[in-house]
Chains A and B, each alone.
Chain A
Amino acid sequence: MPRQLLRDGRVVDDDWTYLADGDPAAPQAAVTSGGLIIPFDRWQADKAAWLADTRRLGVALQPAHKVELLVPDLARFELVAAEFPGPSDGRGYTQARLLRERYGFRHELRAAGYVRQDQLFFLARCGFNSFELPENELSAATAAFSTFSAEYQPSNDAGLARKLHHR
Chain B
Amino acid sequence: MYRYDVIDKALVDERVAQFRDQTRRFLAGELNDDEFKHLRLRNGLYLQRHAPMLRVAIPYGLLSSAQLRTLGGIARRYDRGYGHFTTRQNIQYNWPKLEEVPDILADLAAVEMHAIQTSGNCIRNTTSDHLAGVTPNELEDPRPWCEIIRQWSTFHPEFTYLPRKFKIAVTGAPQDRAASLVHDVGVHIVRGAEGELGFEILAGGGLGRTPIIGQVVRDFLPREHLLSYLEAILRVYNLEGRRDNLTKARIKILVKSLGVEEFKRRVEAEWELIRDGGLVLTDAEVARVRGYFQAPPYRALDNTDPAKDKDAAFRAWYRYNTAEHKVAGYRVVYISLKKPDVPPGDATDTQMELIADLSDRYSFGEVRVTHTQNLLLGDVEQEKTYELWQTLRDAGLATPNIGTLTDMICCPGLDFCSLANAGSIEVAKLINQRFDDYDYLYDLGELDVKMSGCMNACGHHHVGNIGILGVDKGGEEWYQITIGGAAGADASLGHVIGPSVAKTEVAETIARLLAVYVEQRQPEERFLDTVRRLGVKPFKERVYAAPAAA
Mark A residues whose CB is within 8 Å of B.
63, 87-91, 93-94, 97, 101-102, 116, 118, 121-123, 125-126, 147-155, 161-167
Residue of B nearest to A114 (CB): B35
Q: Contacting A90 at CB < 8 Å: which of B159, B279, B280?
A: B159
The reply to whether A150 and B11 contact each other, CB–CB distance below 8 Å, is yes
Known: A88-B121, A94-B235, A148-B14. A161 touches B160 (CB 8 A): no
25 A-B contact pairs sorted by A residue (CB < 8 Å): A63-B243, A93-B159, A93-B238, A94-B158, A97-B158, A101-B277, A121-B155, A126-B157, A147-B18, A149-B11, A149-B14, A150-B10, A150-B11, A152-B11, A152-B155, A152-B156, A153-B156, A154-B277, A161-B278, A163-B278, A164-B152, A164-B227, A164-B279, A164-B280, A166-B284
Residue of B nearest to A93 (CB): B158
Known: A164-B278, A167-B288. A93 touches B157 (CB 8 A): yes
Looking at the assembled complex, report how far the CB atom of B227 sits from the nearest CB atom of chain A, in whole angstroms: 7
Q: How far is the CA of A151 from the CA of B7 in the complex (A)?
A: 8
Q: How far is the CA of A97 from the CA of B227 in the complex (A)?
A: 16
Q: Contacting A88 at CB < 8 Å: which of B10, B38, B151, B235?
A: B38
Mark B residues whose CB is within 8 Å of A.
5, 7, 10-11, 14-15, 18, 22, 34-35, 38-39, 121, 151-152, 154-162, 227, 235, 238-239, 243, 273, 277-282, 284-285, 288
Q: Contacting B243 at CB < 8 Å: which of A89, A147, A161, A163?
A: A89
Known: A149-B14, A150-B10. A90 touches B162 (CB 8 A): yes
Q: How far is the CA of A122 from the CA of B161 in the complex (A)?
A: 10
Q: Known A-B contacts: A148-B10, A151-B155, A164-B278. Give 17 more (CB < 8 A).
A: A90-B160, A91-B239, A93-B160, A93-B161, A94-B235, A101-B277, A118-B39, A122-B157, A122-B160, A126-B157, A147-B18, A148-B155, A152-B152, A152-B156, A153-B157, A154-B277, A166-B284
Looking at the assembled complex, report how far the CB atom of A88 sits from the nearest CB atom of chain B, in whole angstroms: 6
Residue of A nearest to B234 (CB): A94
Q: A residues within 8 A CB of B243?
A: 63, 88-89, 91
The reply to whether B284 and A161 contact each other, CB–CB distance below 8 Å, is no
Q: B residues within 8 A CB of A162?
A: 278
Q: How far is the CA of A164 from the CA of B273 in the complex (A)?
A: 16
Looking at the assembled complex, report how far the CB atom of B64 sits from the nearest CB atom of chain A, in whole angstroms: 21
Instruction: Please classify the interface of chain A as helix (H, G, I), strand (E, B), loop, or mixed, using the class held by over half of its residues.
Output: loop
Residue of B nearest to A149 (CB): B10
Q: How far is the CA of A154 from the CA of B157 in the complex (A)?
A: 10
The reply to whether A150 and B22 contact each other, CB–CB distance below 8 Å, is no
Q: A residues within 8 A CB of B161?
A: 87-90, 93
Most buried by A among B38, B154, B158, B281: B158
Q: A residues within 8 A CB of B151?
A: 152
Q: How far is the CA of A162 from the CA of B510 in the complex (A)?
A: 58
Report the 5 A-B pairs with minimum CB-CB distance, sorted nearest first: A90-B161, A154-B278, A125-B157, A122-B157, A152-B151
Q: How far is the CA of A88 from the CA of B161 in the complex (A)?
A: 6
Known: A149-B10, A167-B7. A126 touches B279 (CB 8 A): no
Residue of B nearest to A92 (CB): B161
Q: How far is the CA of A43 from the CA of B322 in the complex (A)?
A: 67
Q: How far is the CA of A50 from the CA of B446 in the complex (A)?
A: 70
Q: How far is the CA of A115 from the CA of B367 in the complex (A)?
A: 42
Q: B residues within 8 A CB of A163?
A: 278
Looking at the assembled complex, report how far the CB atom of A84 sits from the nearest CB atom of chain B, in whole angstroms: 9
Q: B residues within 8 A CB of A101?
A: 277
Looking at the assembled complex, report how far the CB atom of B470 sits from the nearest CB atom of chain A, in whole angstroms: 28
Q: B residues within 8 A CB of A89?
A: 161, 243
Q: How far is the CA of A94 from the CA of B239 in the complex (A)?
A: 7
Q: How far is the CA of A90 from the CA of B22 in the complex (A)?
A: 20
The reply to whether A121 and B7 contact each other, CB–CB distance below 8 Å, is no
Residue of A nearest to B35 (CB): A87
Q: Contacting A87 at CB < 8 Å: which of B38, B162, B278?
A: B38
Known: A118-B39, A126-B157, A149-B10. A94 touches B238 (CB 8 A): yes
Q: B residues within 8 A CB of A63?
A: 243
Q: How far is the CA of A118 from the CA of B38 in the complex (A)?
A: 10
Q: Contacting A152 at CB < 8 Å: which of B22, B38, B121, B154?
A: B154
